[in-house]
Structure formats: structure tokens, C-alpha cells
Amino acid sequence: MPVRAAIVAAACLLGIAAPSSAFAERVDDEVAIAFTNDVHCEVDSTAGEALGYAGVAAAVDDLEATYGEANVTVIDAGDAIQGGPVGLLTEGEAIVRLMNAVGYDIAVPGNHEFDYGMQRLLSLVELSDATYLSCNFTELGSGAPVFSPYAVKTYEAKPAAGDADGVLKVAYVGITTPETLTKSSPASFTDDDGAYIYGFEEDETGEALYARVQAAVDAARAEGADYVVAVGHLGRSGITDRWTSDAVISHTTGIDAFIDGHSHESYVTSVANEDGQQVPLAQTGTKLAAVGELTIDPDDPDGEVLSFELTSAADFSETADDVQAQVDAVDAELAEELDRVVGESAVALVSEDEQAGLYVRLGETNMGDFVADAYRAATGAQIAIVNGGGVRSSIDAGPITNNDLYGVQPFGNELSMVEATGQQILDALEMGVSEYPEASGGFLQVSGLTYAVRTDIPSSVEVDDHGAFLRVAGERRVRDVRVAGEPIDPARTYMLASHGYLLHEGGDGMTMFEDCPVLLENAMTDVQGLMTYLSENLGGVVSDAYANPAGAGRIVMTSGDVEPEPAPNPDPAPEPGTGEETPSDATDPGDIQVSEPGAGSDARPGSDGLPQTGDTGLAGAAAAGGIGILCFAGGIALLAHRKRG
């Protein structure tokens, strides 16, 4: 099985050995480590695209045939249990059971392992056969780590040169990104009063994280580890600089190799540590596009003791029958509900299109518009916002299934509505573009509102040690904010809809809404909002009102001194590359009446200019008490209805 030439070339240039085949002839005296990261529920094997867990299991089988079962360790570097319907509908249980079938030995919690809540994660850890490690996830009261900081494994391989005990010991140190506090639900880490009781050694310099990692490495060495492998859910690009894998390596010593995750990148590289020694570093991308292998050979003739290799799905098509059978069983349990066609789309709804330069974390897209419109229709709000990080996939033109909608909104967040001031909304928009031009999960897609961003003005947003919004200290980037075509009034209050992650939990650092009066709470899940908007408001058809992949012109990126001026809303939406200087809202023609909070509580979704053909909205269903929820009971997916008291 050849690896990709680019990866081999990069490895050779860096002096990191890349074997000519993924799994070579029988070798009984070396250690092999198979690793994955950011699987995000990609359980199925797709030829040339995803290995699936059956493919990972086959790769592990090959390694065990090569190195011996006792000398092979299987590791996941985080974000396995969230990101798709199979994770959401089972709250991670189906994923953990499949990981057990593969034979994972070690796992590190990524930020999305916490998405179902702390108690759920702890239950899944109990269910898992893997040992969960994280040196920097701590209880703040005691300072003690929640999971073991590291684990030392002894192998039946040749010992390191000069080793007195005659065995090979490898330590694995777990590291979880401090970004978890804002990139998962902050409510998982606080008490009932909102005070943080858990932390990830986050500070403004990174020194707290580096110290924790160094302490774990030193302790592992003191325990007799011959080699130390860091397993970090940290990443490189688009990550807070002080918390990248590069930063951790460059501020520590004693790490021999680093298995990475979080940033969804594919690389084999090396980074100099604090002593100037090169530390090999690798990540496999995301959704099982590849599986990684780290081999340890203390007597390598070329002196390359630790070597990385990535094997892509394009180069490896084997699957393990026993694990495939378990994947098939999970798919069958969920298939009837997920495969149900619930509508159709005349256009492709885009969350990301690299060729077109569109990304929901960087700018407006028609999928961002669609989701925000659904939130507004579902709640009857004047304005709706959704974070780009919560819009996870695109939908092709053609039939739309429940599975498609769950792919777009896989978190199971609940929709709410609050009474927010114009100033709080302005602060949220400013926070959302604070990282631009870097992609940010906090970038806000909108409905009922338009705004422009001066990209030539540096962000002056200030945040606390947890990444939570504090203030805008200088000139604002966000300009020309309009509600129903009228300038937003900072002193006025508006009915604002989103999910609880943003409105109640301070997700993506959006703490400005914490004290807002709640008008509607946990009315329905986010994906239910999409389902009902599609079926009731749009009559089951997404029309060409959403034809422009770049959206309806609600968000404009501009530079220079010329402020964009409002113009009549185009219909249909402008083609990409035209009309950038005019923020508009083709699916929101501007006839939304800005009423006092609560005044529109009996208004029907669809009366505000959103595309709609049906008679009822989800807000009406909520008021009637008949909210459809997809439950998972006894391993079977079913559609239930319940009333809220």
C-alpha cells in the first residue's frame, strides 16, 4: 500500500522515515502505534474518501500481523463522538462501542467530547475500553487532573540502547486544547452559579499549559519511560497561537514524537523543542481520510528511531469483517429515520466550497442564511444568529433527507429566544469577526439583520483568560447594522433567536447575552427547527431564493473609508462577486416589523418575509406542546412527541 508521494517526500526531507509500504514484513522487536483524530462520527467506509472504523480495524490487523499484537497500540486524538447523526442520536454511545470493536487503547478528549455534557462524557469513558488521558484538564478547586495525565506501556520489543530493565517502555501524555472552554458548551465546566469548576490550564501566555505538559513528561521519564509520545488535541492552523502543538513543543523538552488533532489538517513534519531538538509531528486530517502510524525502532540503522507515516483512504481499501458487521448494525438501526426524504432543494446549500472561496466560518453562505432563517421562523424572533462553527455540512441540490439535516446541525442544541439590546447584538457581531481573516467558529450568520465589516480595521475585542468577551476597547470593525432596513438602535431591545450554546452558555465567548430576559427557552432542537422550516414554511422545497452560494448579501466584507449604503433588496439574490457594496437580504425583503419584545409572540412564522408556503411554524407547534424529538431508546431510533409543562 503506497503512501501519498507528497507525504513521503515531506517525511524524507525532514529526516523522518516513511516506509515504502504501510505495513511491511514481520518485525517482532519494534513498536507500532496506529492513530486517528477528528473522526467526527465518520463510521462508514467510503472508497477513496474515508476508511471508516472497519478500515481502521483492518489497518490495525495488518500492523499486528507485522509487529505482533503485544507491540501495537491504537490511539485516538479526540473529537470522535460528535459530528454526525450516529453520534448525536446515541449521545456518543454507538461511537464508543465501535471504537471498542476496533480495539482502541488510548484516547484523548477533544473539545467536542464534552458536547453532550460532563456526566455523559464520564459515562462514556466508563463504557470505553480505552484509557482516557489529559494532563491539563483539571478540577480547579484541587488542581487535580480529571483523567490520568499519562500512561506508560511496556512492550515485548527490543529495549532502548543501554536500558537496564531489558524492556521497552513508552509513555503517552494526553493534552486537550484550552479552546475547549469556548469550543464546547461552557456549561459543562461551570457550577449552577456559572463559576468555572474545571479548566484546561488556559492563560494569556500559554505558560500554564506548557508547565502542565512538562510536568507530565518529567513524571513519565521518572517512571522509567524510554520514549514519550504526546497525544494532543491542539492543531496548528487557525488555532490560538499559544495553544498550538508547535507552541507546546517549542516550550518543552523530553517529547520524542507528537500525535496531533483539532485543526483537521494532514501533515508529517517536525518542530524544534526548547533545546533545539527536532520533534516529529503528525496529524491525519479529519473524518478518517487517513490513518497514521508511528513506529519506534531503537536500533534503526539510519538513526531514525521514531518514524511517522500516513496511509490515506485512497491507498487502503481493506475492511475488517467483524467491525464492518457492527457498523452495518448501527447503520441499520438508524437508517429508516435518517434516510427518510423530508423535502427537496432546487439549489445546492453551501457551508464550504474551497474552489469558490466560501466558508461559513469566514463569510456569508446560503446555508448560513437557510439555518438562520429557520431559527427565526421557528421562534418568531425579529433577528436570528447562528455561529459558523455550528453549521457543519452542505446539502446538494435534489432530495433532502433527515440525515442531511442532522449533518448540518449535529449538536442537538436547543433553540431559544431572548430580549437583547441593540448594543449586545453589536457586541456579538464584533466578537464574531474578531479573528477575521482567520476562520472562526464564532463568525455569525444572520437573519433579519444585515451588517458590513471593515476588514482594514484591526479587531479591538478584548477577552478574558477563558476566551470570553469582555469589551470592545477601540474602533469597531462592524458597521451599518440594520434591522428590517433600519439602523439598529443600541438602546432598544429586540427579540433575538439562536441556540442555547450562544444565548445561555457563552459558547464561542458570547457572554454578552448571559443576563438577557429569556422569552423562549429550549423550545426545540436546532435540527427540528430546520425540519419544520423546510416542511411548514417552505412547503418542502428550498427554492432558488437561496440560489446564490454566497448568500443574499446580508454580510459585506469591505475596506477603506467608504461605508456601504443600503439598497433595495435584490430578488433573486445577486450572483457572487456582484453587489458586495450593498448588504441586502433576498430571502428577507425588509417587511419585518421591529416590534417591542413580546409583541409578536402570537405572530406566525412566515409573516416576516421569509420564503414560506406552509401554514404552520415550529413556534406554533411548540405553543401547542407537540414538539417532535428523535430519541434513542434501547438502541432503536424512534420519533416521539412530548409536551413541555
Residue pLDDT, tens place only, 417-471 = 999 999 999 999 999 999 999 999 999 999 999 999 999 999 999 999 889 999 9
Mean pLDDT along residues 198-203: 96
Q: What is the pLDDT of residue 368?
A: 98
**Residue-by-residue DSSP string for 398-461:** EEEEHHHHHHHS-S--BEEEEEEEHHHHHHHHHHHTTTTTS--TTPEEEESEEEEEETTSPP-E
Mean pLDDT along residues 560-589: 39
Give me the phi and psi of 76, to 5 degrees please: -120, 135
CATH T-level topology, domain 339-642: 5'-nucleotidase;  domain 2 (3.90.780)
Q: Which residues contact 504 (CB under 8 A, 6 or more apart)?
A: 187, 416, 513, 514, 518, 521
Instruction: Answer yes or no: are the C-beta atoms of 82 and 40 closer than 8 Å.
Output: yes
Is the pTM for the entire model greater than 0.75?
Answer: no
Q: What is the pLDDT of residue 630?
A: 36
Identity of residue 557:
M
The answer to which of 91-100, 288-297, 386-395, 563-572 has the lowest mean pLDDT is: 563-572
Residue pLDDT, tens place only, 100-154 = 999 999 999 999 999 888 999 999 999 999 999 999 999 999 999 999 999 999 9
Give me the phi and psi of 228, to 5 degrees please: -120, 120
Q: Which residues contact 136 (CB under 8 A, 6 or more apart)?
A: 145, 175, 176, 178, 200, 201, 209, 212, 213
Residue pLDDT, tens place only, 479-505 = 999 999 999 999 999 999 999 999 998
Q: What is the pLDDT of residue 257?
A: 99
CATH T-level topology, domain 5-330: Purple Acid Phosphatase; chain A, domain 2 (3.60.21)
The answer to which of 230-234, 273-277, 572-576 has the lowest mean pLDDT is: 572-576
CA distance 551 to 268: 37
The answer to which of 471-480, 545-554, 578-587 has the lowest mean pLDDT is: 578-587
Nearest to 377 by CA among 90, 158, 126, 618: 618
Domain limits of the chain? 5-330, 339-642
